[in-house]
Amino acid sequence: MLHPPSYTAGRFKSIALERMEKVRGPEGVECPLGIPFVCVIGWGSMLVALTGTPGTGKSTVAAAVRTKGWNVLEVNELARRHGLLRGKDPARDSYEVDPEELQEALGREGYAEGILVGHLAHLLDVDMVIVLRCRPEALAVRLERRGWPAAKIRENVLAEALDIILAEAMGSGVPVFEVDTTGLGQEETAEAVLAILAGEREKYAAGNIDWSEEALRWS
């Protein structure tokens, strides 16, 4: 996980609201949000980041979306193929990956249309970001089932509670959507993602999910 040090839950919300006022069009043209999103997805081939804190269900959804004919690429696979997994962190049992190197690898593969899956996907040059979310308490249960150590669970659950990935995604300047997976089954989550890909805009607008009441419990 990346952990920008100065972010707070309140700041995330203001970043989110600021960013929601504008979506970026082709060649840097800014379109007011009033313009239907279908005009954005009509702008030719699209690269979509499916991101979220570990355990929010990205790979599960990706598998379902792939069966609907979408190109799906796991960022971890991309990193592995290009030898970009560097500096293993034994405490976290994870590797450091440089987003710039990932971006170059993406270019080398000529991957320009489809869905990039992983908790770093929103740091790449994409046209749209979908962030999967999960209520911190429920996320902790999912991560416990993985047998992760308590410190690693806490770190990731806190990142979810503080909207870390959402805030990073908002910094990209492209349209960002959020899906709360907490009460959804895997199929329903996949349906929500497919609806966004099909042009649904209002229902999954970023900024509507708020875990701030739970954030204190995990900090």
Q: Which does 55 bind (CB under 5 to 8 A by kind): Mg ion, ligand ATP, none?
A: ligand ATP
In the bound state with Mg ion, the residue whose beta carbon lies nearer, of 19 and 133, is 133
Task: Let me know if 35 is exposed, middle or buried by CB neighbors in 10 A (0-12, 13-18, 19+).
Answer: exposed
In the bound state with ligand ATP, the residue whose beta carbon lies nearer, of 172 and 189, is 189
Ranked by CB distance to ligand ATP, the top (closest) residue is 57
Is the Cα dihedral 171, 104, 75, 37 positive or negative? positive
- Give least dist CB 125 to ligand ATP, A: 20
- Give least dist CB 44 to ligand ATP, A: 28
- Give least dist CB 156 to ligand ATP, A: 9
In the bound state with ligand ATP, the residue whose beta carbon lies nearer, of 40 and 136, is 136
In the bound state with Mg ion, the residue whose beta carbon lies nearer, of 54 and 207, is 54
Q: Which residues bind ligand ATP (CB under 6 A)?
A: 52, 54-60, 119, 142, 145, 181, 184-186, 189
Q: Which does 181 bind (CB under 5 to 8 A by kind): Mg ion, ligand ATP, none?
A: ligand ATP
Is the Cα dihedral 100, 101, 102, 103 positive or negative? positive
- Give least dist CB 205 to Mg ion, A: 25
Q: Which residues bind Mg ion (CB under 5 A)?
A: 58-59
In the bound state with Mg ion, the residue whose beta carbon lies nearer, of 41 and 159, is 159
- Give least dist CB 181 to ligand ATP, A: 4
| Phi, psi angle pair for 170, to nearest 5° | -60, -30
Distance, in Å, from the CA atom of 130 to the CA atom of 138, rounded to the nearest integer, reads 20
Q: Which does 51 bind (CB under 5 to 8 A by kind): Mg ion, ligand ATP, none?
A: none
- Give least dist CB 79 to ligand ATP, A: 12
